[in-house]
Structure 1
């Protein structure tokens, strides 16, 4: 993902039904299928230079990724 190249890391927050999770581990989960856009709730991007976590709502994610891709 483009956002990872310009930041210290990122997390995509998704809403999943219990039946979509194949395994629950201590700090991670394994899902049965690819994540679809409709299940994305937010994008969190960590900027290691500024030591800042920024939250992007679903409707802002596309604009953010496009702006980062143009840098």
Structure 2
């Protein structure tokens, strides 16, 4: 089951939403049972994808704003 997570006012092409959904899915799977080594790896990979999406979004936003006035 996939859950849609949206960040309002930000058009990031779905990278952020996909990473957040993967992380949320991985965390939900471990609610009712102890996390196995495979679950821990899945959560770690999903968390890394979230951080990469945040970096990409921040870098893209910073590049747009770096024009500056003369």
TM-score norm. by structure 1 comes to: 0.29
Structure with the higher strand share, 1 or 2: 1
Structure of higher CA gyration radius: 2
Q: What is the TM-score when the length of structure 2 is the normalising length?
A: 0.29
More helix by share: 2
